[in-house]
Each structure stands twice: as structure tokens, then as C-alpha cells.
Amino acid sequence: MKMVEKLQHKYALSRQGAVDMIKACISVAVTNIVLMMTAGILYTLIKDLLENNLTQDRIPFYAIGSAIIIVLVFVTNFIQYNATFLTTYRESGVRRTAIAEKLRKLPLSYFGKKNIADLTTNIMGDCAQIETASSHWIPELIGAVASVSLVGISMFFFFDWRMVLASFWVIPVAFIIVTTCSGAEKRAVRKNQAVKLDMADGIQECLESIRDLRANNAQDRYMDELDGKIRKVEKFALFTELKMAVYVNSAAIILKLGIGTTAVVGGMLFAKGDIDILTFFMFLMLVSRLYAPMEISLQNFAAIIATGIQCERLDEVLSHEIQTGSEDLSCDGYDIVFDHVGFKYADDTDVLKDVSFTAKQGQVTALIGPSGGGKTTISRLAARFWDVNSGKITLGGEDISRVDPETLLSKYSIVFQDVTLFNNSVMENIRIGKSGATDEEVMEAARLANCDEFVNLLPDKYNTNIGENGSELSGGERQRISIARAFLKDAPVILLDEATASLDAENETVIQEALSRLIKNKTVMIIAHRMRTIANADHIVVLKDGVVAEQGSPEELAGYDSIYSRMTKQQLISQNWKM
């Protein structure tokens, strides 16, 4: 059982995948031993011929023995194929599904530490590398080592031990040479992986920002930098391959020495009469047959060492702690209470310190304050994207840290400033708000979000494909689709994160009309910089440097020289500013 667990972590396998890998290694070893049985039949046949012992009654023995070996070769190869390839491909599917499922359950803070190129490499590149290792390299290597070891040990009992040593001593020495490079090779592969990710990030960034690069005549300079990253990948790839080649080729040269030592020791023993010509010939034939596949095994061994980096990366994802909790949420209403909440990022930087306030059901609670004060962090903590370091957050009296994140989020509708849309129709983009919603429900939600006026102008109306991330739509139109999703979900808690910050006055007015319908009788937390956005808020929480600097109704905060009143006056001045 410990072997199974070790394989699971070492090669990022499921339990069944680890068991299948053990079976694959055994099947390869058995197949190799069966193939070597042909040499045994041939040796016996030549011996009988030289000693004139090939009588009529011996012929059936060779005929039946050859037939049995042929059948065994067919059966063992069939079993090996299934054990090494079919089970590996099945495990590869299980692994990708497991990674996707794991990513779904990870806290969203995890994705703040990872970039898209890295995660894409995890799911596609790393899985493909391990798939190749599991189907080709690992079983072949372990099977070859096991079969050669068994043959070598058995030959000690049937042949001269000096000939066995002369033939087999090079194999452990060659593997020791390759093993000594494992540390250096892993460091080189890690560096190679890092520059590859840097290049992938650069390519992705280039594609995403090509419009801005051209607008600022910066494409040539950026392409020069990207070319440097690509050349760096080429340089480190060559360096890594060269480093591996030095060790592998050195080990291969050692293997070739085995032919020489077998010939020299065999010649000396034959001259003394300690062995016969047939034994001498058999060992020469053995080493010529044995060393070629062992060279391939050494290359596989070096590749497996390099694959360890991909395995570590996948195991890091699969072993990462997930957020858990009860799937039953029995809350009394939907008030959100922050009770002396403190929060730090992974680098131990304080973001929130002793934050306490209540967002009541049926009211709009606005979070305002200077940038970097912790407003967005509060909205993320309220939805349990992250977990607090101290204090607690409750929803209807229920501590949200004890609630399963998916169960909790079923009670939330969130409208972000940066809307994410998919390369699909308007209908399907809105339907994301509620799985299984009917077309009529989707269109009603769209009407409430004021989507009708632009959807009806599209070529296929609700069935129009809006392009990657809604590239065919304007910013205001994309935002209205996001609000339509919230209408369709109809959750009791609404989180609005700068939902109108980047819109013009006309679009902002249309979206505010939609939002006013959305938030009725809900618990609403809204983050905003524009004071007009929160003019009708019931409760305002002003955050500065991670603490609640002040809170109260707009009327209460406007009644003295507060941060809120100063922000209101400053925005009024900026709105009236003219050239």
C-alpha cells in the first residue's frame, strides 16, 4: 500500500493509476523474460547439434517449446499493450478531470498567485508529458531493469560467475552515472520551465495588448523583448539537452565496455578450458542483444528524472488545501456581519485590520474610500473567495467559514467591473446565471437589465454569437449582460464591484436603472468611487488603510468634515472642471 501511495504522489496518479503502473511494469518484465526464452531454446538446440544429440525424440520438444514461446510472446505483448497504453490513456483522462475538479474547489486566492499560462501548462503540457512517461518510459525502464536483474541472477546458478560479472557489471555503473546528474538535471529543467512560462506569458500578453502596442507605436520594442524571451527558451533547451547528453552518452560508453570485458574474460576462460565455445558464443550474443535496449532504458531514465518537475507541479495542485464546509446553509435572514475581521495576503502584508460593520438585508451598504483601502478585499471575503485570518464573517448568523463555498455562492449574485463573457450566443452567456433556465426566463432577465434595446439590433438577436469575451459588444452592453445574469440567478445577496466605473454617463444611467430593480429587498454591498452611484445608499462604510475610518448614513457623514463629505466635494469640483 505504501508503494501505491508513493507512486500517487511521485507521478500525480490516482490510486487506480498507481496500481495500473505497477501492473504495467510487471507485464513489461514478464514480456522481456519471455523474449529471452528464445535464446534459451536456441542455446539448447545448438548444444544438441554440436554434441550430436538431436535425435528424433528431441524434435517434438523444440517444436512444442517454440510454439509455446510464440503463444506466450503474443499473450504477454497483448497484456503489456493494455497495461502500458490503454490504462495510461484512461488515467490521463482521470488526471485531467481530477485537476479540473481540484481547480474548481480551490480558493480563488490560489488563482491570484498563478497565471493563466502556468495553469494551462499544468492541464495540457504537464499531463501530456506524464502520459508519455507512464506509457513509454517508466514501465519500459522498470521492466527492463527487473528482467535483466532476474536473468543476471539466474545465470549465476547455471553459468560461470566470472562471465556473468564481465557481462553485467557495466549496467549498474551506467545507471549510477545517470543518477548522479538528477539534481543538476532537475535544476536545469526548472529553469527551462521558468523561461518557457515567461515566453508563454509574453506571447499571451502580446496578443491581448496588440491594440495598445500599435496605438503607442510600441510593437517593435515589445517584439524585440519577446524575441529575446524566445531565444532564451532556445538557449536553455539546448543547455538542458547538452547536460543530459553528457551523462547519458557517458553511461552508453560504459555499456560498450561490457562487450570488451565479455570478450576478454571469455577468451581467457576459453583458453584455459574453463568454458566451452558455445558458452563463450552465447555470452557474446547476449551482450549484443542486452546493451542496445539498456541504452534506450538509460535515455528513458534521464527523461523520467526530467519529468519529475512536471509531476511535482501537478502534485502541488492536487495536494493543495481546498475550502470545505457544510452543504446545508440554515441562515436567519441575509444580514452580512463583519466581526473584528483581519486579513493578510501570503506575503504577510496586512490588508484589513479589525474591520467591523453590518450590511443589512433590504438595505444598500456602500464601501468607499481611497484606492488600496481594502474595499474589493471585503467583497471577496464576504463571498468566501478567501478566508479571514482573524475574526469572522456571518451570513444570517451562520459563520461562512463553515459553509461549502459553492453552497454559499448559490446565495450571491456578483457583478464585477471587468465582465467575463464567452464566445457564444447572448442567450447562453446570460443563461450562465442559472443552469437550465428556459429561454423565456433568460429573455425576461435580459429585459429587466435593459438588454432588449441592443439585442434586438443584433443579426440573430439572442442567438447572435458575441465573440471572444464579448468582443462584438460595447462596454455598457457587456455590463448589462452581466446584470442580466444576476437577475436570472435572483440570489438574496448582491455584490457590486465598481459595476459602472468605466461607463459613460448615458450607459451608467441605463445600468443604474437596471440595478435599482435588481437590488430590491436584497442584501446589497456596493463598491464605488463615483459618489452619484451611492447617492441612495442606506449605509456607507469608509475604508482607509485597511480599517473602518467612518460609517453611517449619507446624511450623518455629510453633516461634518468627514472623508465622505470631502470625497463628495472633490468629485463635484472635478465634474464642473472645464478646459
Encode pLDDT of 436-454 as tens digits. Answer: 888 888 888 888 888 888 8
Host domain of residue 130: 2-318
DSSP H stretches of helix in 319-383: 375-382
194 has pLDDT over 70: yes
Encode pLDDT of 227-259 as tens digits. Answer: 888 888 888 888 877 877 788 888 888 888 888
Whether 178 and 302 map to the same domain: the answer is yes
Please check whether residue 263 lies inside any domain of the structure: yes
Measured CA to CA, the distance from residue 510 to residue 482 in angstroms comes to 14
Other beta carbons less than 10 A from residue 568's beta carbon: 19
CATH code: domain of residue 209: 1.20.1560.10
Give the pLDDT confidence score for residue 252 in this predicted structure.
Answer: 83
Give the pLDDT confidence score for residue 331 in this predicted structure.
Answer: 79
Please check whether residue 466 lies inside any domain of the structure: no
Please check whether residue 477 lies inside any domain of the structure: no
Please check whether residue 27 lies inside any domain of the structure: yes
Measured CA to CA, the distance from residue 441 to residue 431 in angstroms comes to 9
Whether 132 and 176 map to the same domain: the answer is yes
Whether 369 and 289 map to the same domain: the answer is no
Read off the pLDDT of each residue in 85-94 and give the average, rounded to a whole number.
81
- HSE at residue 33, side-chain half, CA atoms within 13 A, is 18
Q: How many domains does the chain have?
A: 2
Give the pLDDT confidence score for residue 532 in this predicted structure.
Answer: 67
Whether 383 and 298 map to the same domain: the answer is no
Pick from 108, 111, 115, 114: nearest CA to 382: 108
Whether 223 and 129 map to the same domain: the answer is yes
Encode pLDDT of 316-339 as tens digits. Answer: 777 777 777 788 878 788 889 999
Whether 273 and 336 map to the same domain: the answer is no
Structure-block grid coordinates of residue 388: 479571514
Whether 310 and 347 map to the same domain: the answer is no
**Boundary-marking domain end, from 303, 318, 333:** 318
Q: What is the DSSP string of 434-453?
A: STT--HHHHHHHHHHTT-HH
158 has pLDDT over 70: yes
Measured CA to CA, the distance from residue 293 to residue 473 in angstroms comes to 60
Does residue 401 contact residue 392 with C-beta atoms inside 8 Å?
A: yes
Measured CA to CA, the distance from residue 434 to residue 112 in angstroms comes to 26
Q: CA dihedral in degrees (347, 351, 354, 357; nearest 10)?
A: -140
Q: Angle between the 138-158 and 170-179 helix axes, to the nearest 10 degrees?
A: 150
**Boundary-marking domain end, from 295, 318, 341:** 318
Residue 553 — very low, low, confident or very high, per pLDDT cuts 50/70/90? confident
412 exposure class (CB count in 10 Å sphere: 0-12, 13-18, 19+): buried
Whether 218 and 354 map to the same domain: the answer is no
Whether 97 and 200 map to the same domain: the answer is yes
Whether 383 and 262 map to the same domain: the answer is no
Please check whether residue 294 lies inside any domain of the structure: yes
Structure-block grid coordinates of residue 360: 443589512
Please check whether residue 21 lies inside any domain of the structure: yes
DSSP 519: T
**Boundary-marking domain end, from 289, 318, 347:** 318
Please check whether residue 427 lies inside any domain of the structure: no
Measured CA to CA, the distance from residue 535 to residue 570 in angstroms comes to 15
Please check whether residue 500 lies inside any domain of the structure: no
Residue 112 — very low, low, confident or very high, per pLDDT cuts 50/70/90? low
Encode pLDDT of 453-488 as tens digits. Answer: 888 888 888 888 888 777 778 877 888 888 888 888
Angle, alpha carbons 545-550-556 (nearest 5°): 155
